Amino acid sequence: MALLIPTQLFRDVSAITPEYLAGQGIRALVLDVDNTLTAHGSQEVSPAVSDWLARMKAAGIGLAIASNNFEKRVAPFAQRIGVQHVSFCCKPAPFGLARARHILGVERGALALVGDQIFTDSLGAHLYGIKMLLVRPVTRDIKMLIRARRWLEQPVLRRYFEQGGTIL
């Protein structure tokens, strides 16, 4: 179960601050898209996420997208927010995360993954040896498979809180 437990849980991406990242030695973030930065399938960016991205960039935090979705979904979104991307990452396999780290040019200890799913994002981050910053989903999941995974995530989240984890 340790491979599933996030490093930290956040209410949403805007709760992740440059100060928190500096305290953890994190200089770059690999970002998931669907239900992390925007709703599933959406190309829209909320004002809160736009402001957060601007704060991260102003603080010198490197940003890149690593999504399991296809290029036709990921590339326009990455272009819209002004970051490079890796599509079809196959998380939890570490290959896409390695490509994103190469783009960002940082060592593993200075990198964290920001995502909303435990069985893809959290497991992938731990298998690759980087910190995992789990965020609450942007919207309620509509796909049955993801809804089933959310139910299966509950014991992992209980363990996170039992071990003293908090929501920032």
Q: Is 24 a residue whose pLDDT tops 80?
A: yes
E strands of the chain, at which residues? 8-10, 28-31, 62-66, 84-86, 111-115, 131-135
The model's pTM: 0.93
List, in sequence order, every beta strand (DSSP E) within 17-61.
Answer: 28-31
Q: What is the pLDDT of residues 135-159, one digit of tens each?
A: 999 877 677 777 777 888 999 999 9
Three-state secondary-structure class, residue 17: coil
- For 126, the token pair is 């731990």
Q: Give the CA radius of gyration of the chain.
A: 14
Q: Is 39 helix (H, G, I), strand (E, B) or coil?
A: coil
Domains present along the chain, CATH in parentheses: 8-162 (3.40.50.1000)
